[in-house]
Amino acid sequence: MRKLTLFIVSDSVGETADLVAKAAACQFRQDLETVSMKRFSHVEDESQLREIAYLAKQQQAVIIYTLVKSSMREKLKQECQLNGLNCIDLLGPIVEGIGNSLGEKPKEEPGLVRQLDEDYFKKIEAIEFAVKYDDGRDPRGVMKADIVLVGVSRTSKTPLSQYLAHRSFKVANVPLVPEVDPPEELYNIDPKKCFGLVISPNVLNSIRKERLIVLGLKDDANYARIERIKQELDHFEKVVSKIGCKVIDVSNRAVEETANLILSELPNRRL
């Protein structure tokens, strides 16, 4: 049985072509030990294409390639024709078809799909982090977070954490109540990554009353009383003063507006 030799040529890592080549090779050689696959990654120079074509001729290889630059695709096609090689362009026809459909020209920048994948997984990781370290469930998250939010109950800590997580920031939030000592971790982090969320007592009183009604409870519970709210806010002021972090008034701010304020204050902000 003739051995199948495949050359995978890419201007990026070459994972896409590698997977497709394996899927196709399995239709002819179910035992991949009879298949030789050699990957040529980050090919960006035409001289490299000539060398690859020369090697492919020596080894009777089939060249499978994903090159985003049309000039490189054309050059490799010419080299294969000159050497009597069978070559398969996986990306070119798809890019050209989409371009014709949109009436637009492609960027022709290698590695964009990998960049998108990395951004996607960073976002997923940040979202999972925000869920895991929401509402002070595990104070260890305070040390690991990019951003730490502190505030009394109903100051939008959780929705703000999720919003920032969708921007790929790892966020931990910690509720502050007078009866519970804040975790020591709050006093050991860089105060520049910590943000206190404060709110008007009257606004918070209204929010908490609505919350109690939604839960089917009376709106005159201690949780919503103005005296209790002022007590909590006094405790909040003491804690954030000790941390030395920036305080943002969220009384009349949307989550998006608060998030933009936080991002503008972050050291080494990631755009």
- Residue ranges for the known binding site are 151-158
- Structural tokens at position 163: 């919003």
- Which residues contribute to the annotated binding site for ADP? 151-158
CA dihedral of residues 157, 162, 167, 171 (deg, nearest 10): 60
Alpha carbon of 120 to those of 6, 14, 63, 155: distances in Å?
31, 19, 31, 28
Contact in structure between 207 and 263 (CB atoms under 8 Å): no
Alpha carbon of 182 to those of 171, 176, 177, 192, 258: distances in Å?
17, 7, 8, 18, 23
C-alpha atoms less than 13 angstroms from C-alpha of 85 in its C-beta half-sphere: 29
- Picking from 52, 99, 102, 97, the residue whose alpha carbon sits closest to that of residue 72 is 52
